[in-house]
Each structure stands twice: as C-alpha cells, then as structure tokens.
Structure 1
Amino acid sequence: MNTYTHILFFLFSATLSAQTALYNNGNLRIHEGGQIGFHTNLINESPTDNNLGLAGFYGSELLTVSGSVTPQFYDMEIALENNMQLNLGMDNINNTNFIFGSILTPLTQPDIFYNFVDNSFYSGENDFSKIEGYAAITNQQNFGFPVGDVQFLRPLLINSESVNLFAKCAYFYEDANSPASLSGSYSTASTALDVEIVSDTEFWRLEGTVASTVTLSWNLRSNLSSLTENVDDIIPVGWSKASQQWVNLIGSAPVGAVNEGFVTTESFTPDDYELLSFGVSKSPFEPLSRDVLFIDNFFVSVNGDGINDSFYIEELEDYDSNFLQIYDRYGLKVFEKTDYVDDFVGFSNLNNVPFGEEKGLPTGVYFYTIYIPEGDLNYQGFLYLSR
C-alpha cells in the first residue's frame, strides 16, 4: 500500500517538474501507513477525502494551497520556515502536528479556514507554529482553538453545552475601534453600566450557535496593566449585536496576575456577539469579588534527582481538606485533586491532553488555585515546570 502512495506522488512531481505547484486533478489517495511530503505549492481540483496516511508540508519557502476543492487529510504536519498560506479551506480528520511554521488564512476572508473535523485534534502548537487566521471545528463540543498572530499563540478555549455542528474562531492583534481586518467599528467607549473600560489592544472573533463558556488568556503584550492594577477587576467582555455595546461576560474570578493570566466567561451564545476581549469591571457592580490570597511561586523539576520532583505546599498540612487545580498559561485545566498532598509530578490526570500525555506536560509556567473549605479560603500562584 505504501509503495502505491509514493509512486503516485512521484508521478505527479515528474509531470510537473517545470512548474511551481503540484496540480491534483485525479484520484490522489494516501492509504493507511502511507506518507506524502509536499515541498511545493498544492493546487487541488479533485476530492482527497479518503486519505488515511500522513501529508506533510516541508521546506524553507512559503507554500500555498489553492484550487476549487477543499483538500482533506487524515494526519497532517507542518515544518515550514516560511509558513503555509491557505487560499481555500483545508480539513483535518485526525491529527495536526505543528512542528514549525504557521498555517495562514486571510483575516479579511472568514470563509477560508482550517477545519478540525469530528475527533480531530492537534499537538505541538506554540508561538512559532499555530493558525494565524481562522480555525474551525465540526461536530466537536469542547476545543481549544490554536490561533494567534505573527508573534504569539493566543488560543481561545470553548466548552459548549452540546456538540457544535460548526464553530469558528480567529484572533486579532488590532484596535477594535478601527480594526484593519474588519469593516465594522466597535467603540470601546460604548459599554454597559458595569464595564469601566475595554481593551483596545486585541480581540477574538468567535462564531457558533451553541451556548458555551469561553476561556481567554492574556500576556504582557495585552497591556492590561494600563487598564487596572488589580487582577480581580479584569473581566471578559463581548460586543453585543443586540445592544451595540461591550457587555460583561464574567463567569469566574480571574486567575493569575495583571501581566499574565486567564478568565472564563459565563455561558453565552457566540453568535450573539461580534467580538470578545478584556475589560475592567466598574465598582460597585463587580459580581464576583472574592478574597484571594497569593502564596509562593514554586519550581517543580521532575528529573528524578530528588530535589523538587513534585509540587509540594507545606502549608496544606495545616488543614483537613483542600481542592487543588492546575492550569496551563492559556487556561486549560491539566490537573485537579481533592485533598492534595504532593501528587503532581508533571503529568496530567485529566483526559484533555490527547497527544503525547505519556511524555508529561511541557516545560513552562502553570497557574495553580487552591480552595480550603475551612475558613472559605482561596489561594493562587504560579509554578514553573522543568524537566
């Protein structure tokens, strides 16, 4: 089977050796276990919806995918120094492996998107390899859209009340008052009574018909310190299509600090809102004010040397019970435990890390939150995981 796949590819390549693109106008199929490496542009004019192998896009040049028929790949990976430009959509039905380089779609053309179909997932996403433009899901309920801009991965996590037949998301590092990529204007001065101010630095656009909660994260570039000095004042906001103003969507207290953290919305229907961003709540309307105590930041080095091999908080021994949760920097929960002692050793105990979980969580910054029923105490802080 593999031999057939490779022969087919080389025949196409030989035929088009003098051209700058591989032109598919026939029955291009990758059988189970087969692999095709694209080192040139792809012009797709025929269905490719029976693939079971791997399609890889490799090289040092910008590759473009165009044509009249949306290509569909089973496993797909990208290792490109200068990215891949989609001039039509692309479907993935199993795994997308981000190695290096990003998948680009035009922010001015929301009908062009990279679509994660059914149980499709991804791995390896980072600041240098992600989707710069529109990402979509088909028949999925909970998902993290691996979107961002040229500089940063800025994902949006969605948890829906039922399966989304279709949902779509993009990130914009633009001023909502006069966005370069959109025709509308969304004045940050037009706010509901409980919103003090809205960020003019960045926003997300999310489309969907199923009620969902959304988690948004911020980093130093988000510049929320120019809006407030208190992380508890940070709220998620949405531009309401009905009221034509920014409204408060807060569903949980923010986690982190002013320069890095995340917050989750209440449940809402994405199609009721044009854009999503960050704002600051106006006192005395802040609905989720709570006392949160910040304790030490921790270093966890899971290398087996007997030093800091687990996440251990000595103070927890003074209480009868506790509930600990650990999140990555984008707000994805990766660990939780009731009556925690020192159980976290760099691995997730949840089922939302579908690829590479046996290798453990990646090195980096994580947030932790602790609730202690005695005294109704809430704590949060950072930990740095190293291997």
Structure 2
Amino acid sequence: MMKNTLYIPFLLLSAGLCAQTALYNTGNLRIHDGGEMGFHTDLINDGSFDENQGLAGFYSTDSRSINGSLPPTFQDVEFLTQTGTFLNNPVNVSNNANFISGDVITIPAQPGITLNFLDTAFPSGENNASKVNGYASVSGQQDFTFPVGDSEQLRQLSLNSEGINNLAKAAYFFEDPNSPSEFPAFSTNSRANGINEISTSEFWRLEGSVPSSVQLTWNNRSDIASLSEDVEEIVVVGWSKITNQWEMLGGPASVGDLINGVAISGSFIPDDYEVLTFGAFGEPRDFLDLENYFVSPNGDGINDFLEIPELALSPNNHMMIFDRQGSKVFEKTNYTNEFNGLSNQNNFVINREGGLPSGVYFYIVSLDDLNLEFQGFLYLAND
C-alpha cells in the first residue's frame, strides 16, 4: 500500500446531463524521482504525462478509469480498486505494474487499448483477483509472461521469442471458439490430420511477428479430460489464417495431470494464427519418461540437488521445472544438477531465499545432442 501519498485535486467535468469527477491533465504533469501520486478519482489525460520516475496508484472501493487522447506512461504503478481499473486508452509501464486488488480491464473489441509493458517492465502480484482482464502487450522484450485472464481467473500466456518483439499482445477468453464473442467462429470440426480433439472451453489471442514458442497452463475448468485421458497427448493448437483450420504447433510432451498441467509449443509466428488453445493428438506420441525424483535440499549430501544421470549423454540440453499450477519455477540451458529447490524465475520473488514449497513438480528436459525429450515428476521436500 502506498504511503505519504500526494493527493491531487480534481476538476468537476460535465458531459451533457451527466457529470463525472476526474483529474483532467491538459498540460505537462510529471511524477519526479521518489515521488508518489495517488488517484482516488478518474484520470483524463490529454497532455504530457510520460516522464514519470515515481509511483502512481489507482485506489477505490468502487472503480477507476483512465481516459483521454494520449497514453500516460508510468514508471511504477499499482492497482487497488474493488471493481477494477478501466482503460479507455493505452497505458504504458516502464518498470513495474503491481496488481493488488481489482482487475485492469480493457475493451476486448479494441485490441489497440492495452496495458503495455515497455522494454524493462514487468508485472508483479498478479492473481485471480487482480490481473489484466482484456489485452496486455509488451514492447522491446524477447520473453514475457502476460498477466491476463478473465473476470474469475488468472490465465497467463508465456511468450519465448527468437528475437526482440517490437510489439506483442495477448488476451484470454473463457469461451467456446465455436461461438466467440469478439471473433468469427473457429470451428473445432475443422482441424488438420492428426488432431483428435479441440478445446471448447477457452482460448487465447496472441499477436506478434517474431518466431516464438508459448507456454499455456490448464486447470480444473479447462476440462482437459474431455480431450484425452493421457496428458502427454495434449498439445498447443492454433487457428491458421491461411488454411482456416486448427493446426498443431509442435513442442515437447505436456506434463501434469487432468486437473493441472502445462503445454509448450514449438516455434511459430503468432500473427499466422488467429487464436490458440489446447488440442489432443489422435495417435499416441512417442515420448520417453524418466524416473520420478526426490529432492531434499537439507545439506546432508543426499538428494540435495536434482540429478538426472541421462543428461551426461547430452551436454547440450534444456531443463524446465513447473509447479502443479503450471507456473515455471526453474529453467536452465545445459543443466548440470543445479536445482536445489530454489527458483530462478522472476515470478517467484516471495521468500525466494527460503526456497519453493514442498510438493510435486513437473519437469521437461530436452537432450538436444540426441534429439530426445523427456518428462516426469519430482517431489521436493523443502522443510
């Protein structure tokens, strides 16, 4: 919660028979280094408000809105609004957007209106009760996890690109792609050979011109069991703009169970596809399972690190570890037994030094020298 807040007086504006209270900026407003500005009213920005170095906060027991002809740029911004902060024009973030309570809500029919993260910016605190309900975007970054969802749940999309994105944007829709609210129908009966089922529960919209892979997670309302009883058959699929059908987007075998899990695509160009969701192979895929491992980093010299002997056969490898909700907690290229229960991902900053909580985790590892991929489970005893 922001302290020592600077309370800004507002102007009473009238529009026809309706009146609203708002801070109306038509000049050159700026938050200086170390400064803090609290918005307890709406913001209408028709002037310069893009050289900020401090913290801006939007607070309300109801809702707040950001309007105007020019997009403000905040260094640090936090959202604490009971029924949401509505964006009616784009908003840029140059450092951190902290989600405390209440969604940041954009207009699905206007994908140009986004909460946009600039080249070093990142989200924090995103959760089911506070996230971007609508479009989030990123400018000048190669890898990014979009803090998007709907009114009920956070349903992130992680983007790993082969180069810097000038602009990429994403949104989540808890809708049947056969009858979406903002798009023409994407018939789940129109699919490439080899795809047996397509999700009718949810989909993501992703825009971007750089070849990339994505990571999507499923949970209980994704209804993965309706696609396949074998989670290794779950794949990321996209609706091709060229063929007008669902196509598989490659990637390693998915990991998890029928309630929680993660699927990773191969490389594709997001702008070639209208939307993304989960599908299932019609035939079993040939992936190899390694053992399930036990990691207990208590310093006794036994199982203190995740050690996978097979990796010695392939010095060029790639290890990823996920929690039961599908959040990536560890990633390492050319893994040599470094994982000891600590996360190296920015989405795990709470009690980082204390380590990840005990429980079951999924891992995916590729042996690039041998062109093999493996997946399995590990149990972390971090007490």
Q: TM-score, normalised by structure 2?
A: 0.84
Q: Distance in 2 between matches of 1:185 and 1:16?
A: 44
Shift of 1:275: 0.6
Distance 1:318 1:167, change over 3 A: closer
2:377 partner amino acid: G
Distance 1:365 1:135, change over 3 A: farther
On the 8 A contact 1:62/1:84 being kept in 2, the answer is: yes
Please tell me whether residue 273 in structure 1 is matched to residue 287 in structure 2.
no
- In structure 2, the residue corresponding to 1:12 is in which secondary structure? coil
- Sequence identity, in percent? 40
Q: Distance in 1 between matches of 2:360 and 2:42?
A: 38
2:292 partner amino acid: I
Shift of 1:193: 0.6
**For 1:151-162, what aligned pairs fall within 5 Å after superposition?**
151-162=152-163
Shift of 1:317: 8.8
Q: Distance in 2 between matches of 1:250 and 1:371?
A: 14
**For 1:97-136, what aligned pairs fall within 5 Å after superposition?**
97-136=98-137
Counterpart pick for 1:327 among 316, 322, 325: 322
1:138 partner amino acid: S
Q: Distance in 2 between matches of 1:187 and 1:103?
A: 30
Please tell me whether residue 291 in structure 1 is matched to residue 288 in structure 2.
yes
2:352 partner amino acid: K
Indicate the residue corresponding to 1:367 in structure 2: 362
Q: Distance in 2 between matches of 1:45 and 1:68?
A: 5
On the 8 A contact 2:95/2:121 being kept in 1, the answer is: yes
On the 8 A contact 1:122/1:355 being kept in 2, the answer is: no
2:119 partner amino acid: D
Counterpart pick for 2:9 among 8, 12, 16: 12
On the 8 A contact 2:253/2:375 being kept in 1, the answer is: no
Indicate the residue corresponding to 2:376 in structure 1: 380
Counterpart pick for 1:345 among 338, 341, 348: 341
Q: Distance in 1 between matches of 2:140 and 2:202?
A: 28
Q: Distance in 2 between matches of 1:276 and 1:381?
A: 26
Distance 1:379 1:227, change over 3 A: closer
2:268 partner amino acid: F
Partner deviation per Cα, 1:331-359 (whole Å, 9 max, x = no partner):
5352448453x8523342xxx41784773
On the 8 A contact 1:310/1:346 being kept in 2, the answer is: no
Partner deviation per Cα, 1:63-117 (whole Å, 9 max, x = no partner):
1111111111111111222211111111111111111221011212212111001
On the 8 A contact 1:327/1:335 being kept in 2, the answer is: no
CA RMSD of aligned residues (A): 3.4
On the 8 A contact 2:252/2:373 being kept in 1, the answer is: no
Q: Extract unaligned runs of 5+ from structure 1.
A: none
Q: TM-score, normalised by structure 1?
A: 0.83
On the 8 A contact 2:341/2:382 being kept in 1, the answer is: no
Shift of 1:136: 0.5
- In structure 2, the residue corresponding to 1:330 is in which secondary structure? coil
1:291 partner amino acid: L
- In structure 2, the residue corresponding to 1:20 is in which secondary structure? strand
**For 1:157-306, what aligned pairs fall within 5 Å after superposition?**
157-180=158-181, 182-283=182-283, 288-293=285-290, 295=292
2:184 partner amino acid: G
Shift of 1:194: 1.1
Q: Distance in 2 between matches of 1:299 and 1:79?
A: 39
